[in-house]
Amino acid sequence: MNLDLELRLAIRQAVEAVFGQKIENEQLQPTNEGFEGSHTLVCFPLTKLSRKSPEDTARLVGGHLVSHSGLVTRFNVVKGFLNLVVADQVWAKVFQSIYADQNFGQLPRTGKELMVEYSSPNTNKPLHLGHLRNNFLGYSVSEIYKALGYTVHKVQIINDRGIHICKSMAAWQQFGKGETPESSGLKGDKLVGKYYVEFDKQYKSEIKSLTENGLSEAEAERQSPIMQLAVELLKKWEANDPATVELWKTMNGWVYSGFDVTYKRMGVDFEKLYYESQTYLLGKEEVLKGVEKSVFFKKEDGSVWVDLTSDGLDQKVLLRSDGTSVYMTQDIGTAILRFRDFPKIEGQVYTVGNEQEYHFKVLFLILKKLGYAFADKCYHLSYGMVDLPTGKMKSREGTVVDADDLMQEMAEEAEKQTRELGKIDDATDEEIKNLSEQIGLGALKFFLLKVDPKKRMMFDPNESIQLQGHTGPFIQYTHARIKAILRKAAAMNIDPTPNDMEAVHDLHDAERAIVFRVNNYVNKLNEAAREYSPAVVANYAYDLAKEYNQFYQTIPIFGEADTQKLKFRVALSQVVADVIKKSMALLGIQVPEKM
């Protein structure tokens, strides 16, 4: 039973019966907290038809609904807002249809396709805390759209070339002495990151020495031997020098192996990987075509630029004077290639931090100027930075919180708390380890996803892992509690069927609230998709868990003498557990059966 649809139909029939006029776009919304009712009709627009005050209009429509619809038992009017109280037998039918639907919350295939890009790291250092928020956001948005029937293509662009990559290569050549992940015992991405840091140390030391000998800082930066080596490596790479390309492949291979381990623990996946080394040439071709079409222009030094001042932006370099490309060049090529590879996609979502907002404004505008209609289908899912309370977490390099370290520390803290609680003393070490991983990673993911992506946020590891409060473990514990109830019901041979729901005609406020919340699940998925915000789903899951706990503390389940009510409450518990599990899965979070 689609209650929203039936209410809308009944409202249209009421308006036509009372005022003799047809409407097609009634404003129906959830009732604000603090007022009786579940659905509210905004009656101000109807006054043009009724020729009456908003309050009188609301009373007339409400009276007709109570008398004729069979859906509404009573109503109240607050100014021009008509708050509707839906009949308990209607809520029972709503719940019956949900309970009977094994695919509730998973819409049929729509035939629509969407591409979501996330992660997209550089191959010169390991993933960090910012990458965690990025990956969790992109993965979750993908899963939400999949639940709404979309075919979603999860992709990333690997920034595997350029001067930043050559810096690690230069430092390894100078200081590496043949060191490998195997010989060092380091993950490959951490080994390459180590040499990126070494480059920076050497570069700063050389600049200091050169400036002390009388050179300006700008001249010292140009004459720095290690920077000159990095620039030379970049030129050799673009000229396809065999030895340089071989070193590049080797070091990038180390990084990819390290990334794979991190992604597996994160629980994220990708359908297709794009590489800057494979897309920048297409970007260069497009830029040169743009010069021929006078979309771009060349400066005297041979560099290519786009002038966006008439669009309220500025001039942007697309090719350097030596012919090498920049990030924008590669992104132009990547966007074009993706729409060639997946011509049916209705949109391309870029999950990238808000410090790149200007970059994407420029990119989408350039694509439009080049004549690509798909530019209007590109969307930048911009998100804020993540801060940590000072001293809360360790950092490998003193400034950046390593993703592997953070995930490990969260799992360790979860295991510590799990053992201290002593609720799973009969579990094996392996079971405790798996549970700790679920809780630790669940706490991390939920805390990073419950905040609107646009907002900068503070991640507090200690707060995130608590069993009480607005946390992932609170929701996980609620799910485990419900599963214990369901195991007890099964042992008592209580086996509800959809038909048992028909006999329920009076509901407790707490039961009614849960049915309303569950019935609103798909609406919340649509809201999350529209806003590209997993926070909508995260907070929905929290509200549902909180509502169930209030129900559990208020109403006896196994102490109920009425068999039909008992079965209804067991069925209600089952549905809540299922919806919590589905909601959390959309966030990439597992929920334990026991906890």
pLDDT, position 373: 94
Distance, in Å, from the CA atom of 594 to the CA atom of 435, rounded to the nearest integer, reads 9
pLDDT at 462 over 70: yes
pLDDT, position 301: 95
Kindly give, in sequence order, each residue whose CB lies less than 8 Å from that of residue 84, ignoring residues fewer than 6 positions away. 7, 31, 37, 38, 39, 40, 41, 62, 65, 72, 75
pLDDT tens digits, 391-449 = 444 433 446 789 999 999 999 999 998 888 876 778 888 999 999 999 999 999 999 99
pLDDT, position 419: 86
447 SS3 class: helix
**Global confidence as pTM:** 0.93
pLDDT, position 389: 81
pLDDT, position 78: 97
Q: Which two tokens stand for residue 213?
A: 């000998």
Domain boundaries, the chain: 3-86, 407-586
pLDDT, position 452: 97
Rg of the chain's alpha carbons, rounded to an integer? 29
What are the two backbone dihedrals, phi and then psi, of residue 435, each rounded to the nearest 5 degrees? Answer: -65, -40
CA distances from 542 to 4, 492, 520 (A): 23, 30, 14
Nearest CA-CA partner of 201 in 235, 167, 228: 167
Do the first three CATH levels of 3-86 and 407-586 match, i.e. the same topology?
A: no
Across the strands, what pairs with 348? 115, 378
pLDDT tens digits, 501-524 = 887 888 999 999 999 999 999 999
Q: Which two tokens stand for residue 319?
A: 């090719």
Report the mean per-residue pLDDT for the chain: 94
CA distances from 19 to 22, 61, 336 (A): 8, 9, 55
Distance, in Å, from the CA atom of 559 to the CA atom of 232, rounded to the nearest integer, reads 79
What proportion of the chain, given as a percentage, has pLDDT over 90? 90
Section 87-102 average pLDDT: 95
Q: Which two tokens stand for residue 21?
A: 């006029």
pLDDT tens digits, 565-590 = 999 999 999 999 999 999 999 999 99
Distance, in Å, from the CA atom of 545 to the CA atom of 527, rounded to the nearest integer, reads 19
pLDDT tens digits, 141-197 = 999 999 999 999 999 999 998 899 999 999 999 999 999 999 999 999 999 999 999
pLDDT, position 390: 66
pLDDT, position 418: 86
pLDDT, position 35: 94
Q: Which two tokens stand for residue 339?
A: 């729409």
pLDDT, position 394: 41
pLDDT, position 399: 61
pLDDT tens digits, 25-35 = 999 999 998 99
Q: Per this entry, what is the length of the chain?
A: 595
Contact 482, 576 (CB under 8 A): yes
pLDDT, position 502: 80
Indicate the burial class of 478 (C-beta count within 10 angstroms; 0-12, 13-18, 19 or more): buried
What count of Cα atoms within 13 Å lies in the side-chain half-sphere of residue 94? 25
CATH fold group of domain 407-586: Isoleucyl-tRNA Synthetase; Domain 1 (1.10.730)
CA distances from 133 to 122, 239, 386, 391 (A): 16, 37, 8, 20
pLDDT, position 397: 42
pLDDT, position 426: 81
CATH fold group of domain 3-86: Gyrase A; domain 2 (3.30.1360)
pLDDT tens digits, 330-344 = 999 999 999 999 999
pLDDT-derived band at 387 (thresholds 50, 70, 90) equals confident
Place of tokens 């090719």: 319
What are the two backbone dihedrals, phi and then psi, of residue 388, each rounded to the nearest 5 degrees? Answer: -125, 145
pLDDT tens digits, 217-252 = 999 999 999 999 999 999 999 899 999 999 999 999
pLDDT at 372 over 90: yes
What are the two backbone dihedrals, phi and then psi, of residue 379, each rounded to the nearest 5 degrees? Answer: -135, 135
Section 478-497 average pLDDT: 96
